[in-house]
């Protein structure tokens, strides 16, 4: 309902044909780009500048006047000037009284100043209505028209009418305004363009840590051990064999880590008998980056598929196959078909294919363009039910890979189990606990807790 109404708002045509003049202070990169876009959208634009000379860079059709003259021509003034020069506005306080000042500025560092640039502007020009907007749009994107990735414009301000006026301009430029509330939100909006993938930090660091650990683990088991005990040089395993071990291990562990916080949250809620107590901070943060964890896991699973596809063309594999055939010929002995092994090998591949297919499906449904088109129940069905099914298939794929080798002593080199065995610990734990949580004696109270029931109500009637 909300979604539709906001779309209708965004598409609503402007009933008045004549657009109001907009003033832009500053003829720098951003001022000119915004002016260019506004003229294209039918707004008369007047620039306020220290120099009133028209240069070839100024968008065609725009006027360039002194700050005082330009301010008198418009009710909305966009301040396309760096914060450190805002002092020049103080002598203009009287002219700017009652005008809407749009702060578009950004900083070089997160929380660079004690107050946001917009709040600072409001302090310098107390009679003006300051609105924060446009800071997340780049001059280059405005000029070149490549705004696909940044159509959203965060807007905030204390004066509702002023905010509406700015939001109307945003819509007229073909962008989508997102009302962020009062001017207090400006600090957050100014920090936004400085963020470097905040949700990806934990998944990427975790994958890097796990990848390094498993790389050295496999190096010890698969390269150093044969070198020490059998004097065999398998150092070339570093190129394909070891990465093709690490990728599925990481994919499986990270996929399990997507579902582990949900299981932990359920245990905490059951233990506390309420959903109205906050989870620990680390669990909250973990839950927030589950999508990113899942996507990194999918990337590793895709790499595993690619590495697996090249196995038949590897020199080592071709050499090993031909050596086995030659040795059978020389010994005049053919190995009979072992149906158990055939079953294990085919089941292992089949589980991998199905698991990867569902994994890709999960990845696709997490794309905003897809998730925006399904309702909450459909989204939960895919991410939870299909997600667990993916985890079951991928865990089974790894278990079957182990097959008969699980208990074989040769699997333990220097008492170290095969790396894939370690990768099974977290997924198996998650699946076992999830299975236990399905039992009605736990599922029923958990469902009630999630619907608001409390074991020891805080506020009893």
Residues forming contacts to ligand NAP in the complex (CB under 6 A) are 26-31, 49-51, 80-82, 85, 88, 104-106, 135, 138-139
The answer to whether 103 and 186 are in contact (CB under 8 A) is yes
Task: Using the minimum distance from each CB to ligand NAP, give the nearer residue, 28 or 226.
Answer: 28
Query: What is the closest distance, in whole angstroms, from the C-beta atom of residue 101 to ligand NAP in the complex?
Result: 13
Q: Minimum distance between the CB of residue 80 and ligand NAP, rounded to whole angstroms?
A: 4
* Closest approach of ligand NAP to the CB of residue 103, in Å: 8
Q: Which is nearer to ligand NAP, 87 or 340 (CB)?
A: 87
Give me the least distance between CB of 95 and ligand NAP, in Å please: 15
Smallest distance from ligand NAP to CB 224, Å: 52
Which residue is nearest to ligand NAP, using beta carbons? 28
Which residue, 30 or 348, has its beta carbon nearer to ligand NAP?
A: 30
- CB 32 to ligand NAP: min, Å: 7
Dihedral class, residue 108 (left if φ above 0, else alpha if ψ from -120 to 50, else beta): alpha
Cα 149 to Cα 145: distance, rounded to the nearest angstrom: 11
Smallest separation (angstroms) from ligand NAP to the CB of 62: 12
Dist. CA 434–CA 428, nearest whole Å: 10
Residue 75 has phi, psi (to 5 degrees) of: -90, -20
Nearer to ligand NAP, 81 or 362 (CB): 81
Q: What is the rounded distance in angstroms from the CA atom of residue 163 to the CA atom of residue 297?
A: 42
- Gyration radius (Cα) of the chain, Å: 31
Judged by beta carbon, residue 62 or residue 382, the one nearer ligand NAP is: 62
CB crowding 69-107: b at 16 or more within 10 Å, else e: ebbebbebbbbbbebeebeebeebeebbeebbbbbbbbb
Alpha helices in 276-314 (DSSP H): 281-288, 290-309
Report the residue number, 29 or 443, with the smaller CB distance to ligand NAP. 29
Identify which of residues 144 and 323 has a Cβ nearer to ligand NAP in the complex. Answer: 144
Q: Are 76 and 165 in contact (CB under 8 A)?
A: yes
Inter-residue long-range contacts of 369-375, CB under 8 Å, 24+ positions, other chains counted:
372/3
């Amino acid at each position: 309902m909300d979604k539709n109404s906001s779309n209708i708002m965004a598409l609503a045509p402007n009933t008045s044909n004549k657009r109001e003049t907009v003033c832009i202070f500053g003829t720098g990169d951003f001022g000119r780009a915004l002016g260019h876009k506004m003229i294209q959208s039918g707004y008369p634009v007047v620039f306020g500048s220290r120099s009133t000379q028209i240069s070839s860079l100024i968008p065609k059709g725009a006027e360039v006047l002194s700050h005082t003259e330009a301010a008198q021509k418009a009710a909305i003034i966009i301040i396309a000037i760096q914060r450190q020069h805002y002092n020049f506005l103080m002598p203009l306080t009287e002219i700017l009284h009652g005008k809407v000042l749009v702060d578009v500025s950004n900083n070089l560092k997160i929380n660079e100043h004690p107050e946001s640039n917009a709040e600072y502007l409001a302090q310098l020009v107390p009679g003006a209505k300051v609105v924060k907007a446009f800071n997340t749009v780049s001059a280059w994107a405005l000029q070149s028209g490549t705004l696909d990735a940044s159509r959203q414009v965060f807007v905030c301000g204390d004066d509702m009418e002023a905010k509406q006026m700015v939001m109307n301009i945003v819509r007229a430029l073909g962008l989508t305004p997102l009302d962020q509330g009062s001017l207090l939100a400006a600090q957050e909006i100014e920090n936004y363009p400085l963020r470097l993938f905040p949700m990806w930090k934990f998944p990427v660091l975790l994958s890097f840590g796990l990848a390094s650990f498993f790389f050295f683990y496999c190096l010890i088991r698969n390269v150093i051990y044969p070198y020490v005990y059998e004097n065999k040089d398998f150092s070339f395993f570093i190129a394909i064999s070891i990465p093709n071990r690490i990728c599925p291990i990481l994919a499986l562990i990270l996929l399990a880590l997507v579902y582990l916080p949900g299981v932990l949250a359920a245990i905490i809620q059951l233990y506390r008998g309420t959903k109205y107590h906050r989870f620990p901070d680390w669990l909250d943060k973990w839950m927030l980056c589950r999508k990113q964890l899942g996507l990194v896991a999918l990337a590793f699973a895709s790499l595993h598929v690619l590495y697996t596809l090249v196995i038949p063309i590897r020199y080592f594999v071709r050499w090993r196959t031909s050596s086995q055939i030659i040795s059978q010929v020389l010994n005049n002995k053919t190995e009979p078909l072992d149906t158990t092994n055939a079953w294990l090998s085919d089941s292992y591949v089949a589980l991998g294919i199905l698991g990867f297919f569902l994994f890709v499906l999960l990845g696709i449904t997490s794309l905003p363009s897809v998730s925006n088109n399904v309702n909450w129940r459909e989204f939960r069905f895919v991410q939870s039910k299909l997600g667990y099914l993916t985890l079951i298939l991928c865990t089974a794929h790894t278990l079957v890979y182990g097959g008969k080798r699980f208990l074989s002593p040769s699997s333990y080199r220097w008492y170290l189990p095969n790396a894939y065995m370690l990768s099974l610990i977290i997924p198996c734990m998650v699946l076992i606990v999830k299975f236990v949580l399905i039992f009605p004696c736990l599922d029923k109270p958990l469902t009630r807790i999630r619907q608001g029931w409390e074991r020891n109500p805080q506020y009893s009637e």
